[in-house]
Amino acid sequence: MSVPAAVLPSVPVRILGIDTSCDDTGVGIVELLPDGRVNLLANRVWSQTVHARYGGVMPELASREHVERIDEVMGDALREAGLTVTDIGAVAATSGPGLVGALLVGLMYGKGLAQALNVPFHAAHHLEGHIFAAASEAELRAPFLALVVSGGHTHLFDVPRDGEYVLVGATLDDAAGEAFDKIARLSGLGYPGGPAISEAATRGNPDAVPFKEPLQGQKTFNFSFSGLKTAALLAHRGGAAPEDLAASFQRAAVNVLVKTTTRAAHAHGRRTVVVSGGVAANTALREAFRATDLNVVFPGRGLNTDNGAMIALAGAAAIRAGRPASPLDGGATAYAPLANA
């Protein structure tokens, strides 16, 4: 496969990124410099609250709320960056995966903006965005390994060359974030479950509930979280205190994520590992990864869960790698695997 030459701009280019893949309206702005470095200029997210009463995201309501909020969020992002819209030199927006109706709002808005400004448009993959969120903290150049651990994914990718993704392992059932959310709900700790479990765990005993770490001893690099969920339900019914359940579950989940990722990094000869997605905000997970022999890069503050800055960072990486602009007639896709091998 031929690799396009790196294309660096002769003057700084401000890239505006949009993510409306689920229930967050995110707009971020980054600046790609002629030397290839990238600065984060703004990151604004409107997190929809309308879904709370339903206990899950209502797709149609999400789309409508994106339509209502996106102008305001973009205005806030431009103000935060100290820019006006005509300073924008490229636009990136998530085209998938996600809720199609929700994706379409940001995608059409982004295309319209690019066309009105007469600047290139880049359709971005949501998971590439999660991975490149870590480019806010360190220059991210292949080769590296990436663990995306979020509400919908627990996926390990090897990135041998810029823009090339090889799926190395994935969850066989629930995503890690989903397990955090469901266990928090069953033990009455509230929503979103990740931060609630993380907080409760500081007051609990991690030895109180014996969780078996799933799929350890395997030769592959897959994950499984549904067994932990069932074990948590049984422990809850058996009277385990929510704090103890939180501490014990979190330790098991963190151990599994760190051990499998470390094994995969060693097997693929990668020293740099990106850990991103909502669960990457977890303090215990970060500490455990930092204690490994790997060079682990996490997204900066506010860039773990869905946001527009990560899409702008993915856009910057695409421009730097010499990828051509996307056509303006491309659609949104609910299912879009990132791995191209």
192 binds ligand ATP (CB under 6 A): yes
174 binds ligand ATP (CB under 6 A): no
Cβ density class 243-277: b for 16+ within 10 Å, e for less: bbbbbbbbbbbbbbbbebbbbbbeebebebbbbbb
Binding annotation for substrate: 148-152, 181, 194, 282
How many residues belong to the site for ligand ATP (CB under 6 A)?
A: 22
Q: Which is nearer to ligand ATP, 193 or 315 (CB)?
A: 193
* Interaction residues for Mg ion, span 146-165 (CB under 5 A): 150
Q: Which is nearer to ligand ATP, 90 or 183 (CB)?
A: 183
Q: For ligand ATP, which stretch binds (CB under 6 A), given 158-166, 190-198, 221-229, 233-241?
A: 190-198
**Least distance to ligand ATP from the beta carbon of 112, Å?**
24
Which of Mg ion, ligand ATP, none lies near 110, with the C-beta cut-off 5 to 8 A by kind?
Answer: none
195 binds ligand ATP (CB under 6 A): yes
Backbone angles phi, psi at 40, to 5 degrees: -85, 125
23 binds Mg ion (CB under 5 A): no
19 binds Mg ion (CB under 5 A): no
**Least distance to ligand ATP from the beta carbon of 331, Å?**
18
Binding annotation for Fe cation: 126, 130, 306
277 binds ligand ATP (CB under 6 A): yes
24 binds Mg ion (CB under 5 A): no
Interface with Mg ion (CB under 5 A): 150, 306
